[in-house]
Amino acid sequence: MKDTNCIFCKIANGDIPSNTVYEDEDFRVILDLNPASKGHALILPKEHAANLFELPEETAKKAIVLAKRIGAAMMETLGCTGLNLVQNNGASAGQTVLHFHLHLIPRYDGDSAMVQWEPHTSDPEEQARLAELIGKAVR
């Protein structure tokens, strides 16, 4: 289903033009309007899903396989030496467009494309508790 108010629905389905890298029946891959690095692309499913949790499992599987294919083409053509896959869910995680998208961010030696997280020390007891807590809720 398309969401008529969703900009990525419109782009994914070709109602708004975009710099399209790849298209098939399930996805359109476009260049990001404000790229973090040269070649920064977004994999957009054509079916609306707000985030990872709404995305059908089959589409999620296909998205990661497609990321591998597009990423390989980037490594071959752009002169990048690495690739980050980024996928934000929720405002606290930096999601600004509420239609699932998977970022492919080509990386170049010495670039400053991504802010790295700050590693914290961990408490072994807390880590054991968290592993059990999350693990028990996996469905």
For the question of residue 101 being annotated catalytic, the response is: yes
| Nearest residue (CB) to ligand 5GP, 93 versus 130 | 93
**Among 40, 48, 99, 101, which one carries the catalytic annotation?**
101
What single letter denotes the amino acid at residue 107? R
- Residue 4: which region, alpha, beta or left (left: phi > 0; alpha: psi -120 to 50)? alpha
**Contact partner at residue 12 from Zn ion, ligand 5GP, none, CB < 5 to 8 Å by partner kind:** none
Is residue 18 close enough to count as binding ligand 5GP by CB under 6 A?
Answer: yes
The contact pattern for Zn ion, residues 30-69, with x = CB under 5 A and - = no contact, is ------------------x---------------------
| Nearest residue (CB) to Zn ion, 47 versus 107 | 47
11 vs 136: CA distance, rounded Å: 39
Q: Furthest-apart CA pair in the chain: how many Å? A: 52
83 vs 71: CA distance, rounded Å: 7
Known catalytic residues are 101
